Structure 1
Amino acid sequence: MDANASSFKIILGSASVARRKILAEMGYEFTVMTADIDEKGIRKEKPEELVMAIAEAKAEAILPKLPVGHYKMDAEPTLLITSDQVVVYEGMVREKPSSKEEARQFIKDYSGGHAATVGSVIITNLKTGFRKGGWDKVEIYFHEIPDEMINKLIEEGTVLYVAGGLIIEHPLILPFIKEVVGTTDSVMGLPKALTERLIKEAL
């Protein structure tokens, strides 16, 4: 537990269960707010720029819903954490599969190959207005994934709801993960080390 965890509050600007779990694992207490934005309306050339722009847009969408005046007068600062993540395969950004067929194609591509996740974290200090962000990249290498296993994954359905159809902690996929260069928490949506560093910088 962070020694000064009691001297500030956190709002997690995400509906993601995985992000809530990771932030709780880090020892923080927080409230949750979600941003309703059109992510597909945001386009950037580079995946790193895209995830930063979307995390920023989420913060901008949440701010008007908050009584920012109160936070400015509060003795203790409140930090708003927003983040985003995409999967990158052969230089192309992959979003959630639009169909079972697309999900199947995505996973076939990963079989015996590799993909990367690029995730962003932006922290806004609501008391001071200070905002700082960063991104983190993880490379994931796969063994060959048999067709029947791909079919099972599609039937089970979780892969249809995640960026790039990519889940590494799934029991059906785990045996086919050859190597992860980076941290699992980052793949799951919230890089702990980056988040920790940005929290310290924002205070």
Structure 2
Amino acid sequence: MEPGSSLFKIILGSSSVARRKILVEMGYDFAIMTADIDEKGIRKEKPEELVMALAEAKADAILSKLQKSENHGMDAEPTLLIAADTVVVYEGTVREKPLNMEEARQFIQGYSGGHAATVSSVLVTNVKNGFRRGEWDKVEIYFHDIPDQVIDDLIEEGKVLYVAGALIIEHPLVLPYVKQVVGTTDSVMGLPKALTEKLIKEALL
């Protein structure tokens, strides 16, 4: 089945602008549904386990919403639900969205001249037959020194307050200070394309 095919529908279980953009780049049409879950209530020791557990909780919450809707299961074509989660790992510690401006500043200052990793999960559920597959992807990011003025500008603009680890490597202010990315930018942004494509194919078999 080709991207954009009307043989199946896609629901993106995320309000993330970056994930939406990536799925559009992949050539898919999709609807958006969001899950209201208590992310802080889900704790796992390993970041890989945490992002998988969070994606599963999001998928379950959206599925229960779908099951309450009247025409659930009436469509002839399968519906695929894509849920995802991303955390930043810095010196062995998991970082989610910063609590405030001060924490965001502290996060970014830590990356300056150092490195961090992102761990992203993708979970695809075939709503029609219940098939579910998920995997995670890890990317290492190395930084040059980031000037204080750049950090001030990032905090003032505010986008970094709404992303895991206050980390946006594709941001025009950040990009010049990214030394090396071992992995793909789309994975850092929250939806690794190759993995998502693979899971979509598997869910349609």
Q: Distance in 2 between matches of 1:97 and 1:39?
A: 13
Matches within 5 A, 1:132-151: 132-151=133-152
Query: In structure 1, the residue corresponding to 2:128 is in which secondary structure?
Result: coil
Deviation at 1:159, TM superposition (A): 1.3
Alignment match, 1:178: 179
Alignment match, 1:17: 17
Q: Distance in 1 between matches of 2:36 and 2:5?
A: 28
Q: Distance in 2 between matches of 1:138 and 1:117?
A: 5
Alpha carbons 2:86, 2:119 under 8 Å: kept: yes
Alpha carbons 1:71, 1:77 under 8 Å: kept: no
Alignment match, 1:33: 33
Deviation at 1:187, TM superposition (A): 0.8
Alpha carbons 1:86, 1:94 under 8 Å: kept: yes
Q: Distance in 2 between matches of 1:100 and 1:67?
A: 39
Alignment match, 2:5: 5
Q: Distance in 2 between matches of 1:72 and 1:29?
A: 19
Alignment match, 1:51: 51
Matches within 5 A, 1:82-97: 82-97=83-98
Alignment match, 1:101: 102
Query: In structure 2, the residue corresponding to 1:59 is in which secondary structure?
Result: helix
Q: Distance in 2 between matches of 1:160 and 1:3?
A: 33
Residues 3 and 107 from structure 1, CA distance in 2 versus in 1: closer, same or farther, beyond 3 angstroms? closer
Alignment match, 2:154: 153
Deviation at 1:106, TM superposition (A): 0.8
CA RMSD of aligned residues (A): 1.6
Alpha carbons 1:73, 1:127 under 8 Å: kept: no
> Greater shift after overlay, 60-69 or 13-22?
60-69
Matched, 1:123 2:145: no
Alignment match, 1:62: 62
Q: Distance in 2 between matches of 1:129 and 1:180?
A: 36
Query: In structure 1, the residue corresponding to 2:27 is in which secondary structure?
Result: coil
Alpha carbons 1:119, 1:136 under 8 Å: kept: yes
Deviation at 1:17, TM superposition (A): 1.1
Deviation at 1:5, TM superposition (A): 2.4
Q: Distance in 1 between matches of 2:165 and 2:27?
A: 29
Alignment match, 2:167: 166
Deviation at 1:72, TM superposition (A): 4.0
**CA deviation string 1:158-198 (max 9, x = no partner):** 11221111010111111000011111111111110000000
Identity across aligned pairs (percent)? Answer: 77
> Greater shift after overlay, 106-115 or 4-13?
4-13
Deviation at 1:74, TM superposition (A): 3.1
Alpha carbons 2:140, 2:182 under 8 Å: kept: yes
Matched, 1:188 2:189: yes
Consecutive unaligned residues in structure 2, runs of 5 or more? none
> Greater shift after overlay, 116-125 or 64-73?
64-73
